[in-house]
């Protein structure tokens, strides 16, 4: 569809935020004023978000965020879309901007050296370079860099338990990567803590690499946390590496299982989607919790009276003054 009037923004910034709960309220109001939707996390350690909106609203948002000196260095990964990629807006305060359980790791103090996308293309030709995927199983099984090392983890917080699997690569240049770069800020720092000496991270992650370098040698699709579910990255030498969870045929049709209790993130080919009614197994197909399925395999949470202005203190004050 050519009529792409919306942007999807992916971003993060590690920076000190004093009184983050007060900042959350201000930032929530900013997003409301600009008609944005998505998920934003605020913590003492910084800001992390994925949001969508009309192009002009997103441009205003980026300008206002970057005008704050705390976020002057923030980099927005910008993709075009034909509609909102989210149904709701959530701006939340949390202890970390990405759940890692690495409270002692501070990317502002120490982290892996940045590798820009154009530099990675050259580094991948070096036999002394090892790429390590810091994402979860369902993400790297759908797509990953050619020859990359993957960790058997279901969540990023499980990463420290698997670092021992990388011991054989301590003498090499280790380049970590993830979707947008945020996980690698702490992952690369943690590797340094564990004795890895030559540690790098792909600046801006897979998404920036795709936008700036055409995604060469990224095999498969990249899982994203919005209504698109998965996106093409490689425009140079694309290759499908994932297989249908049901029948094993080659497929990159990434979906959520239609059984709401399961909700497994897996590739299921279109033939099996029809046969299994969007489910990943016969048990899920017969479950009373099976949703009305669709071929996209994306089932957003029902609105259930959702009100984006619920936590708006400005609105509350206006109502009180009336």
Q: Are 16 and 70 in contact (CB under 8 A)?
A: yes
> In sequence order, which residues have a C-beta less than 8 Å from that of residue 10 and are 6 or more positions away?
49, 50, 76, 77, 79, 179, 180, 207, 224
CA distances from 238 to 49, 78, 255 (A): 28, 21, 20
Cα 245 to Cα 268: distance, rounded to the nearest angstrom: 6
Which entry of 178, 184, 279, 284 is annotated as an active-site residue?
A: 178
User: Would you call 178 a catalytic residue per the annotation?
Assistant: yes
H or E element at residue 254: strand 254-256
Rounded-to-10 torsion of CA 204, 49, 10, 57:
-140
**What is the token pair recorded at 116?**
């820009």
Cα 283 to Cα 19: distance, rounded to the nearest angstrom: 48
**What is the token pair recorded at 298?**
């994306």
User: Which are the catalytic amino acids?
Assistant: 178
């Amino acid at each position: 569809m050519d009529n792409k009037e919306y942007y999807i923004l992916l971003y993060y910034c590690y920076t000190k935020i004093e009184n983050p709960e007060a900042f959350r309220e201000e930032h929530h109001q900013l997003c409301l004023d600009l008609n944005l939707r998505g998920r934003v996390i605020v913590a003492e350690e910084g800001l992390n978000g994925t949001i969508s909106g009309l192009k002009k609203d997103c441009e205003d948002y980026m300008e206002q965020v970057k005008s704050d000196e705390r976020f002057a260095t923030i980099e927005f990964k910008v993709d075009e879309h034909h509609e909102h990629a989210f149904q709701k807006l959530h701006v939340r305060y949390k202890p970390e901007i990405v759940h890692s359980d690495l409270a002692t790791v501070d990317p502002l103090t120490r982290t892996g050296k940045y590798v820009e996308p154009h530099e990675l293309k050259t580094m991948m030709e070096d036999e002394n370079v090892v790429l390590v995927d810091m994402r979860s199983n369902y993400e790297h099984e759908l797509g990953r860099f050619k020859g990359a090392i993957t960790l058997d983890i279901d969540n990023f917080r499980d990463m420290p338990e698997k670092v021992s699997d990388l011991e054989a690569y301590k003498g090499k240049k280790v380049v970590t990567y993830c979707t947008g770069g945020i996980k690698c800020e702490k992952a690369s720092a943690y590797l340094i803590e564990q004795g890895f000496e030559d540690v790098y991270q792909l600046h801006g992650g897979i998404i920036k690499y795709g936008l700036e370098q055409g995604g060469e040698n990224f095999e498969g699709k990249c899982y994203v946390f919005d209504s698109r579910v998965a996106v093409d990255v490689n425009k140079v030498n694309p290759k499908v590496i994932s297989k249908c969870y049901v029948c094993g045929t080659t497929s990159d049709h990434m979906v959520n299982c239609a059984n709401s209790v399961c909700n497994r993130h897996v590739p299921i080919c279109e033939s099996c989607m029809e046969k299994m009614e969007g489910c990943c197994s016969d048990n899920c197909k017969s479950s009373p919790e099976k949703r009305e399925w669709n071929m996209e395999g994306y089932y957003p949470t029902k609105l259930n009276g959702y009100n984006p202005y619920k936590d708006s203190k400005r609105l509350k004050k206006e109502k009180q003054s009336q």
